[in-house]
A and B are shown apart, each in its own frame.
Chain A
């Protein structure tokens, strides 16, 4: 692993809390690593575990899923589902030999622009430490 390896991180953010929190980070002009790419979904409960695996397969070295704080879900219970599903996924990833550092979950509210920065920094740093992901055969969807 080269010292100046820059990982490619894909983040799935719920529209109501984390995406808004990331927007607030922008409005507050906090600075964070640019290797994170955000995909907006309406709710963290929408994030199919497949997306996480798929992102790793398609070139990501790390994946982040972020939603509203447990209990604060805009859709009442979506983030509880996310927590269950993705918690299991994390165990599974470890089991199949994927460094669990590649996958993070976080709860960032619409007012936590600074927390968002910290989450990004931690996710990127961990992905950097884990190095380029070569665990899966890369299969690019032809888009």
Chain B
């Protein structure tokens, strides 16, 4: 530390991203004159190999011991440059980055302003870098296990990959069965594979894999700790059915006094279920669950003379006094695969979803065309009393997507294709029906999509370009009011049935997981990845990864690909068995600490404890930081009365000169 700082300043052009708004040569010339600066250079791409070599060469030849890189955000390339300088023998924490791209060249247009600001930012970085201290990174053991939250196709795939690699996986699913949204689908575009046929084997694998502990009908209550060492607490909700005794025979549901009275969640409310139920016949685990709100015995305390389910259950599995259980375990990594919610069509009241039973959503259509669905796969509508086959069917795309009036600017990516697929399935079942699709654009971007779209059009499905403004009733018919924007013709199209191609939305209950893991949302409301291109499955929280639609709308192949990516990333700490812990932790100057313990009460991680030390012959209490627990937030420091506790790399003595360097150039 006594070594005199010799600073090298490296200013990146970033192609023209920086150099078009910042005169990089002027900044270099300016930096050259700053105190302790030995060398200042510019280069077209500092992060590239030649850029890094430039820095390393200067370190070797000019004996630099502090480096400032003025380029993009430290959130982007700080690790890159830390690694580069440490390869050249400089402590990786002797680096400071000046963010002259995201927070300068990209937000200012005037080159003079941009250059002046870049100069300020560079001088603040030089001011700070000279005062940084060398830090040692430490390693701790990582628990060779993973937690996967959500057991749809994404969660199942991630869990299977990690388990196959030999690590323990805890797969937590909120609902009574694994399978998620994919289990509800009939066929999948564009190959028309039957969704159940490709999913159910995986569901069984996930439940029976020796390395997977499936916690269905469970919710994560608490996650503490950090990458490599998360302490997880899961609530296993009471099923009121003994999990080990239940054989899944279903006698209870047949005999239930309120048999088939309640809308089945799985059938989108179109089918009915009893108060004791299996969500769907292929559910995994095949164990029944009692819905406590609707069960007569659980909600009213009385069900005839005795509950019928109890009477008929040969295995004696019904257990009304069951209570929620808690399971605690430790994992090294977490994958969030919580999926999406379909857009709630009631939020587009002009389409009359709440008013007309023959206006249905895409998810409902999936159940309707499914052989295992409420109608056994027959497409039917209600015409007064009787059920008939529709003759005129309209499908509408982009319902709740690309629509700022409901706050969803994004494209849901799957609707173009699932609407085309549903048109095909309807054509299959109703060869004589007139089918038309109202669309804004057709986005058939994936493998085999365009070919499938073409095929559907050849099947006599009409594509009419126009975004319907209203659906209303005229006699027995639904009228779709729309303008055909290719011919500028206003239409009032009379149909029997309308399918709303609803989009995908962030889950309404995502808040819980967000708070558990300190995750952020992107502007569309889905979970935010660490970097949109280079770290698409990572999050800002180390050791926490994203898979599937939780991160943004995607189709099944993309979901599976991402789930495999998340599994591979999550396995890095598990396979390595060690994780590096944050070196930028708080430290106490025991000579000046007054022992007030304010910091102890403030620390959110209980990382600070009071210890007795001998100070010049007196026993005094001082604070001490447990470096494994400290996350380096620095809240303790702002509360310290004597400035004795300081986060490394963000000490008062490092930040105040940074402020000074900004003001000095006024």
Please list the residues of chain A having a beta carbon within 8 angstroms of any beta carbon in chain B: 8, 10, 15-17, 19-20, 22-27, 29-32, 34, 37-43, 45-51, 54-55, 58-60, 71-78, 81-82, 85, 109-113, 117, 140-143
Return chain A residues, CB-CB under 8 Å to B117: 34, 37
How many angstroms from the CA of A81 to the CA of B107 in the assembled complex? 31
Q: What are the 10 closest A-B residue pairs judged by CB atoms, nearest first?
A: A59-B663, A26-B102, A46-B634, A45-B635, A75-B633, A58-B663, A26-B106, A141-B660, A43-B633, A143-B657
Complex contact B106–A34 (CB within 8 A): no
Measured CB to CB, the nearest residue on chain A to B106 is A26
**B107 close to A51 (CB less than 8 A):** no
Select which of B114, B121, B635 is within 8 A of A81 by beta carbon.
Answer: B635
User: Smallest distance from the beta carbon of A34 to chain B beta carbons, Å?
Assistant: 4
Inter-subunit contact A75/B116 (CB<8 Å): no
Bound: A111/B650 CA distance, A: 25
Q: Which residues in window 510-567 of B have CB below 8 A to A? A: 514-515, 518, 520-523, 528, 540-541
Name the contact of A30 in the complex, choosing from B107, B514, B637 (C-beta under 8 A): B107
Pairs A–B under 8 Å by Cβ, sample size 28: A8-B663, A10-B662, A19-B73, A19-B75, A23-B76, A23-B99, A26-B102, A30-B107, A31-B107, A34-B104, A34-B107, A34-B113, A37-B121, A38-B103, A42-B633, A42-B647, A54-B659, A58-B659, A60-B663, A72-B514, A73-B518, A74-B540, A76-B518, A77-B604, A78-B634, A110-B520, A141-B660, A143-B657
Q: Is the CB of A60 within 8 A of B662?
A: yes
Chain A residues with Cβ under 8 A from B647's Cβ? 42, 46
Q: Which of A20, A41, A74, A75 contacts B650 (CB 8 A)?
A: A41
Q: Is B568 an interface residue (CB 8 A)?
A: no
B662 near A59: Cβ-Cβ < 8 Å: yes
Judge if B572 is at the interface, Cβ distance under 8 Å.
no
Q: State whether the Cβ of B154 lies closer than 8 Å to any Cβ in chain A.
A: no
Partner of B520, one of A17, A42, A50: A17
Out of A45, A76, A142, which one reaches B634, CB within 8 Å?
A45
Is the C-beta of B101 less than 8 angstroms from some C-beta in chain A? yes
Query: Is B209 an interface residue when CB atoms closer than 8 A count as contact?
Result: no
Pairwise interchain contact A76-B604, C-beta atoms closer than 8 A: yes
Does B394 touch A at the CB level, under 8 Å? no
Given A34-B114, A111-B528, A75 contacting B635 (CB threshold 8 A) = yes
- The reply to whether A23 and B656 form a contact with Cβ atoms under 8 Å apart is no
Give the contacts of B645-666 with A (CB-CB under 8 A): 647, 650, 652, 655-664, 666
Residues in A with CB closer than 8 Å to B99 are 23, 38, 40
A31 touches B108 (CB 8 A): yes
Report the Cα distance A104→B534, complex, angstroms: 34
A74–B518 CB distance below 8 A: yes
A22 near B103: Cβ-Cβ < 8 Å: yes
Chain B, interface size category, equals 35 or more
- Whole-angstrom distance between the Cβ of B361 and the nearest chain A Cβ: 27
A15 to chain B, nearest CB (A): 7
Contacts of B103 in A (CB 8 A): 22-23, 25-26, 38
| Contact present for A140 and B660 (CB under 8 Å) | yes
A20 close to B75 (CB less than 8 A) = yes
Let me know if B652 and A58 touch, CB within 8 A.
Answer: no
A54 B634 Cβ-Cβ under 8 A: no
Q: Which residues in A have their C-beta under 8 angstroms from that of B102?
A: 22-27
Whether a CB of chain A sits under 8 angstroms from the CB of B370 is no
8 Å CB interface, B116-140 against A = 116-117, 120-121, 124, 127
Centre residue among B120, B124, B635, B639 by max chain A CB count within 10 A: B635
CA distance A16 to B542 in the complex (A): 12
Contact A47 B520 (CB under 8 A): no
> What residues of B have a CB within 8 angstroms of the CB of A23 in the complex?
73, 75-76, 99, 102-103
Given contacts A34-B114, A110-B528, contact A43 B107 (CB under 8 A): no
* Contact status of A140 and B633, CB under 8 A, knowing A22-B102, A39-B655, A41-B655: no
- Chain B residue numbers with a CB within 8 Å of A77 are 604, 635
Chain B residue nearest in CB terms to A14: B633
The residue that B116 contacts in the complex, of A34, A38, A78, with Cβ under 8 A, is A34
Given contacts A23-B75, A32-B107, is CB(A78)–CB(B521) below 8 Å?
no
Q: Closest approach, in angstroms, between the C-beta of A112 and any C-beta of chain B?
A: 8
Residue of B nearest to A21 (CB): B520
Q: Knowing that A23-B103, A75-B605, A110-B540 touch, tell me 12 more A-B residue pairs with CB under 8 angstroms.
A: A17-B520, A39-B659, A43-B635, A49-B638, A50-B652, A72-B514, A75-B635, A76-B518, A77-B604, A85-B639, A111-B522, A142-B660
**Given A23-B75, A58-B663: A39 in contact with B638 (beta carbons within 8 A):** no
B518 contact set on A, CB distance < 8 A? 16, 72-76
Bound-state CA distance A71–B116 (Å) is 37
> B655, A51: Cβ atoms under 8 Å?
yes
A86: nearest chain-B partner, CB-CB: B638
Q: Hey, which chain A residues are within 8 Å of B377, CB to CB?
A: none
